[in-house]
Amino acid sequence: MIKVENLTKKFGDITAVENISFDVGESEIFGFLGPNGAGKTTTIRVLATLISPTSGKITIDNRDIRSDSEYVRSIIGLLTESPGMYEKLSAYENLDYYSSFYDIPSDRRRSNIEKYLKMFDLWDRKDDPAGTYSKGMKQKLALSRALIHEPKILFLDEPTAGLDPESAHMVRNFIENLKEEKITVFLCTHNLEEASSLSDRVCIIKRKVVRIATLSELQNSDKNKRVEIIFKDNALRYTGLLKEFREIKDIQTDNNRVLALVERPEITNPMIIKKLIDNGAGIIYFNEIKATLEEIYLDLIKNEEEK
């Protein structure tokens, strides 16, 4: 659905995005992650045809974004981090105005406006000026605007920013359900828990692409994995045995619990268990703890900065 090849975007002497390539499949939720200034918003603006790339080739729905920009705009929806609305117009009038840009029959237009205002609990306030809305309500109105023409691709820049927990949960459920409607979602967020729960794959960038993978692939590629061991008695009795393994690092104890990093766990873990049992340890629980997306992300960004 989206194919990006060697995209570079410069603003004068500043390179915002440098030679990045990736592809996004139909109905995929693609998490786009990176620190502030990494080039995330710039990339979205290029893909949404708001600004032109300096170099590189981009196709969306098999159309080149430069030569077929009008078609591309017709099939995408965009939620920016700071969406603007006509604050003196009502919510209904805002959506009616923006939907008029698209070739949508009037009856379907009215139906879609009602559908999304009700979906986001704004129908009872449909005649109130948008300027009277809270930040969270404006965010939901902006999301309605992005969806009003039933796009094939939805670009979301911090979609749950400013929302209360209940509204954020509703929006996340809605994003997840878009897969059933075969809508491709390009999700840019600083909420790594959100990205972890929603994304089929994540792309981590810092001007350049650092890594593209599923969460499972990221977790399985980690050569150092944490293990948790729960003993029947105090864990301090067994730390000496654990320290005999060069592959074990960062041993932490808490009463009868040990948490440690283990190199090559597929080889080392069986050796640890045998050593402990041979020395009379009563093991209640032995489990490998997979790294979270946040831990993996921070480690990858740190390594990139150290290059």
Q: Which of 60, 52, 36 is nearest to 158 (CA)?
A: 36
Average pLDDT score over residue span 52-76 = 94
> 164 pLDDT exceeds 80?
yes
Cα(272)–Cα(262) distance, integer angstroms:
10
31 in Cβ contact with 189 (< 8 Å): yes
Cα(32)–Cα(183) distance, integer angstroms:
16
> 222 pLDDT exceeds 70?
no
Average pLDDT score over residue span 18-36 = 94
Average pLDDT score over residue span 121-138 = 92
196 in Cβ contact with 293 (< 8 Å): yes
Over pLDDT 90: what percentage of the chain? 67
Between the CA atoms of 171, 177, 178 and 184, what dihedral angle is there, to the nearest 10 degrees? 100
> 307 pLDDT exceeds 80?
no
What's the pLDDT band for 16 if we cut at 50, 70, 90? very high
289 in Cβ contact with 226 (< 8 Å): yes
What's the pLDDT band for 217 if we cut at 50, 70, 90? confident
Average pLDDT score over residue span 39-55 = 94
pLDDT at position 161: 79
Report the SS3 class of residue 134: coil
Q: Which two tokens stand for residue 94?
A: 């805002």
231 in Cβ contact with 238 (< 8 Å): yes
What Rg value do the Cα atoms of the chain yield, rounded? Answer: 24
Domains of the chain: 2-218 (3.40.50.300), 223-289 (3.30.70.100)
Number of residues in the chain: 307
Task: Specify the pTM.
Answer: 0.84
> 123 pLDDT exceeds 80?
yes
pLDDT at position 162: 73
> 207 pLDDT exceeds 70?
yes
Average pLDDT score over residue span 155-163 = 86
Report the SS3 class of residue 132: helix
What's the pLDDT band for 163 if we cut at 50, 70, 90? confident
Report the SS3 class of residue 103: coil
What's the pLDDT band for 108 if we cut at 50, 70, 90? very high
What's the pLDDT band for 186 if we cut at 50, 70, 90? very high
Average pLDDT score over residue span 243-247 = 91
**If you average pLDDT over every residue of the chain, what do you get?**
91
| Order of strands, sheet of 248-254, starting from the edge strand that comes earlier in the sequence | 248-254, 257-263, 224-231, 283-289
Q: Which helix (H) or strand (E) holds 100?
A: none
Average pLDDT score over residue span 290-295 = 86
Average pLDDT score over residue span 258-273 = 90
Burial 174-199, CB ≥16 within 10 A → b, else e: ebeebbeeebbbbbbbebbebbbebb
